[in-house]
Amino acid sequence: MKKILITALSVFALTAQAGFMGASHDWNNGSSNPFKSAIKAAETGYKANLAVNMAWRDTAKMIKAAKKLNAAGKTAAAVKLANEAHHQTVKATAQLDASLTADLRL
């Protein structure tokens, strides 16, 4: 009985907290700024790609351009570009994974 009570109270507390945050809250990276989380993901991915020599040619340029757009107040375009840059880093990571298991013979 005690256990059920503790579980119920915990679920209630978490639900209440989630409700307090509101529907607009971005749960990604704990940030409420969509550009901030998108650019952080892109930059983290790019840094990881660089460390293993798998970075793509234009990712850094895209990150730079996204920051410029955000500074100019064009948030939607900035988020879109940052997400594209992040997508590149994810694909570059996948290339590395594939190369580790690739058959190197003709």
**Site residues, another protein (CB under 8 A):** 50, 53-60, 88, 91-92, 95, 98-99, 102, 104-106
Q: Which tokens go with 8?
A: 């119920």
Q: Minimum distance from CB of 59 to another protein (Å)?
A: 8
Q: Give the nearer residue to another protein in terms of CB position, either 5 or 102.
A: 102
Q: Minimum distance from CB of 80 to another protein (Å)?
A: 17
Q: Give the nearer residue to another protein in terms of CB position, either 3 or 57.
A: 57
Q: Minimum distance from CB of 97 to another protein (Å)?
A: 11
Q: Give the nearer residue to another protein in terms of CB position, either 59 or 70.
A: 59
In 3D, which of 35, 36, 34, 60 has the Cα closest to residue 46? Answer: 60
Q: Within 13 Å and on the Cβ side, how many CA atoms surround 36?
A: 8
Q: Count other C-beta atoms under 10 Å from residue 105's C-beta.
A: 4
How remote is the C-alpha of 22 from its chain's centroid?
21
